[in-house]
Amino acid sequence: MKRRFTEEQIIGLLKEGEAGVSVKEAEAGVSVKELCRKHGFSDGAFYLWRSKYGGMEVSEARRLRELESENGRLKKLLAEAMLDIEALKVVARGKR
């Protein structure tokens, strides 16, 4: 069963796993494999999250989510406007 993690949880998991990645495993608190097994996600998900959220704070992740949703909304508006323009061009060609 696929489990969803919020940005806050992901950033917390990354901070918990930072010691395991940057220091030798003998000295580390938790290795990546142990962290993944403990919380129920894959190694690949950890490294994907690290590439996306690595070094971020929770407020920055929230801002990123807001910007992504605004970007999607603006893309939708642009697509609708371009569709309207194309429809008007087709209608204008037919009336000549």
Instruction: Note the Cα 87 to chain centre separation in Å.
Output: 35
Cα 12 from chain centre: 15
Q: What is the pLDDT along the chain (96 residues), one digit of tens a residue?
A: 567 888 889 998 888 887 655 544 444 557 888 989 999 999 899 999 999 888 889 899 899 999 999 999 999 999 999 999 999 998 888 766
Work out whether the CA dihedral 27, 37, 52, 8 comes out positive or negative: negative
pLDDT, residue 80, reads: 97
